[in-house]
Amino acid sequence: MRLLLISNSGKPFLGHCMGQIAAFLGPARSVAFVTAANLYDESAYYARAREALALAPPAGCGAEVFHLRWDADPLTTLERAESLFVGGGNTYALLERLRGAGLIDPIRARVRAGLRYVGSSAGSNVAGPNILTTNDWNVVGLAAFDALGLVPFNINPHYLDADPAMAPGSETRDERIREYHVVTRNPVVGIEEGTLLRVEDGQVTVLGRGRVKVFERGREPRWCRPGERVDV
C-alpha cells in the first residue's frame, strides 16, 4: 500500500507539501478529491483543491482533479480514480459520510490493491484503525468509530508538544493520548504541522519540516525527524 498522510493543508493551500504530493503521485495524475469532511461548502473546497493541484510543478503537480462526492454516485467516481485524496474538516462527519455512502470497504480494497491514498488532517485520521485520537468535536453524534485501518497506528494531526509549565493544571495532548492507551493498545503517531508520513512497502518515513511523536502503550514517547523511519 502507498499512503501520504499530511497533518495540515496550510497556506497557501498544500503549498508546504506540494513537492511531496507530486513525487508521491508519480504517473497517477488523475486524482479523486473527497470533500466529505467539509461541513460548510464542499463545492468551494473542491474548487480550491483543484486549483492548487492542477497547477504546473513546482507550484502544483499538474493533476487532473475530479470531485468525489459522498452523496452523488461516489462508487462510480472511485472506480475511475488513479489516486485518492481525502481532504480535511470534521473527522466524525467524514467517517459518518463515508460509511453512509458505502465507501469504507471499496476504498480499503482499492488502496490495498495499489491505489495511492493521500490524506490531510481528517483524511489522515481515517486511515488508522479508528478516529478516537482526532482533535475534532463529535458534532454529528457518531456512535461507531472504526475507520479504514490502512495503517496499524492512529493519527493525531496538528500535534502540539505543550509545556505544562506554560499552562499549569491544563491538559496536554500527551495526557489525552495516555488516557487512550489505558483502554486501547495500538500506537498513536502525533504529526506536527507542516509534516507528513509516507507509507510505502511497509516502511513509514517522516517528511516535511516538523517532527512526529510516537506513543506506544507502556513505553516512553519518542520523536522522529524528517528523513527518519518510524518503527511502529
Paired with 130 in beta bridges are 146
* Annotated catalytic residue, options 83, 121, 124, 174: 121
CA neighbor of 177 nearest in space, from 201, 195, 159: 159
Please tell me which residue in 7, 83, 124, 136 is annotated as part of the active site.
136
pLDDT at 163: 67
Quick one: which of 4, 56, 65 has its CA closest to 35?
Answer: 65
pLDDT in tens, 94-124: 999 999 999 999 999 999 999 999 999 999 9
**For 24-65, what is each residue's pLDDT tens digit?**
999 877 999 999 999 999 999 999 999 999 998 888 899 999
Amino acid at 203: Q
158 tagged catalytic: yes
Query: Exposed (0-12), middle (13-18) or buried (19+): which is 194, by Cβ within 10 Å?
Result: middle
121 as an active site residue: the answer is yes
Cα angle at 200 between 42 and 232, to 5 degrees? 100
Give the chain's domains with CATH numbers.
2-224 (3.40.50.880)
Q: What is the pTM of this model?
A: 0.95
Q: With 90 as the cut, is the pLDDT of residue 166 above it? A: no
Which of 158, 163, 170, 231 is flagged as catalytic? 158
pLDDT of res. 167: 63
